[in-house]
Structure 1
């Protein structure tokens, strides 16, 4: 039982262990994104698609299932499910419909950290921290200290009764069904990737009333100074 626990911890930690990363570098199968200009879809097109979906979320009857709305808008539904890549783990599955090429499948949620922000305690035994090309980090862990920090920062930045981020991704009752990107597993030699990530910044002029559907918050409250929010689309 102890051995199984140690192996489980190692599988999570090894991606942070430099000698292991160096030795296994040649076996990497992930898509290598080396430039901010390496876009699958233009930013304007991504923002337009998300804005139209958020408009539907905004206007739909609260009694209507968001997954039905997702299927109606995109022609498919993605959700948490048992992973084929990670044994006994959680992944993201297509539960209904078919995903056309060039579609937005999910958003990577979490607290956004600048390189100078404290993130050590949150990073311990945390495989959900995503490092972006511009040096920002997104902590997509929906449990423990990471969950507490996201909730705290979201409540801190709210404008009166209005939220500027979506906290529902921390629960099983999602307000925005796209907010499952942190559970998309990396490809392996047996299971090649069928999605790829793309980095995008939401501009400061992004409609305020749609920010409640964005599952991101800055750790250092920089949003209050007018800085655009960062997001990673998958």
Structure 2
């Protein structure tokens, strides 16, 4: 019997063992998350149509944004940091975990090789947030499949965003300000784990994972372009009759007030290898 030992998939469960998270999670609702995301996306839509609008202006409209830079933990590579006037309030959606969404029976072996960005939801769906190699090719291919041509407006309509793939080239706040990422909040895949062992340096989690689904029937068509997730197969979206489909996703929510310049850390309850 052949046993694959070449590329064990580190499937990071989107759950948190912190007790405060469990009590805080009860106060969160899909309606509240949708309200926050809709507000963000409306501002991003305005930013896209107004060329004079700069990324830094998000602080005055949204209240904050996040950027990728060298992690404060030695040996951890890059991390995600907050940018705001004072603090990001507890309960705020700070980012979205970008990537291709797979059902647990769909092929993930090849894109999983050497891939540390695969996050697993409780329902078994996987989100591949890797912005390189085969993962990048698969995401861009699926995105092209999802677009359609609006004959009345004579233009293509995008149903998801792939500009988050540019985060790979950002290494500082200055790079972030000079880059034109459509949705700067789609950076959750770069948030480090608070329990990763980097020379015994650990940080308490200040954000948590929240499983969320973008309902295409409920979201305005002009805001779908900011969703940084796409399903590998359309069959996993059309689970309800006469519906346009649910886009499985994960958002990261502040567990407490986060000060300006703080690095964001999440916590994984289990690390499962298959």
| From 34, 41, 47, the counterpart of 1:47 | 34
| Runs (4+) off by over 6 Å | none
Aligned to 2:183: 176
**Counterpart contact for 1:158–1:164, Cα < 8 Å:** yes
More strand by share: 2
For residue 40 of structure 1, report the CA deviation from its aligned partner: 5.3
Matches of 1:180 and 1:138, distance apart in 2: 13
- What does 1:119-158 align with in structure 2 at a 5 Å threshold? 119-158=108-147
Residue 63 of structure 2 corresponds to residue 56 of structure 1: no
Structure 1 counterpart of 2:248: 230
Identify which of 86, 90, 94 aligns with 2:82.
94
Secondary structure of the structure 1 residue equivalent to 2:122: coil
Contact 1:40/1:102 (<8 A) preserved: no
What TM-score do you get using the length of structure 2 for normalisation?
0.69
After TM superposition, give the deviation of residue 74 of structure 1 in Å.
Answer: 2.9
1:57–1:66 contact (8 Å) kept in structure 2: no
Which is further off, 126-135 or 203-212? 203-212
- Any gaps of 5 or more consecutive residues in structure 1? 1-12, 22-29
2: distance between equivalents of 1:122 and 1:39? 35
- The corresponding residue for 2:65 is 77
Q: How many residues align?
A: 209
Q: In 2, distance between residues paired with 1:117 and 1:198? A: 23
User: What RMSD, in angstroms, separates the aligned Cα atoms of the two structures?
Assistant: 2.6
Structure 2 segments unaligned to the other structure (5+ residues): 1-6, 150-155, 168-179, 196-200, 253-274
Q: Deviations over 1:70-123 (max 9, x none)?
A: x12332221101112361501101134321111111000000001111110000
1:38 Cα deviation after fit: 4.6
Q: How far off its partner does 1:49 sit?
A: 1.1
Q: Give the Cα–Cα distance (whole angstroms) in 2 for the partners of residues 40 and 15 of structure 1.
A: 33
Q: 1:54 & 1:16 partners in 2: Cα distance?
A: 31
From the two aligned structures, give the one with the greater helix fraction: 1
> CA offsets, 1:144-182, max 9 Å, x none?
110111001000110121110001001143111100000
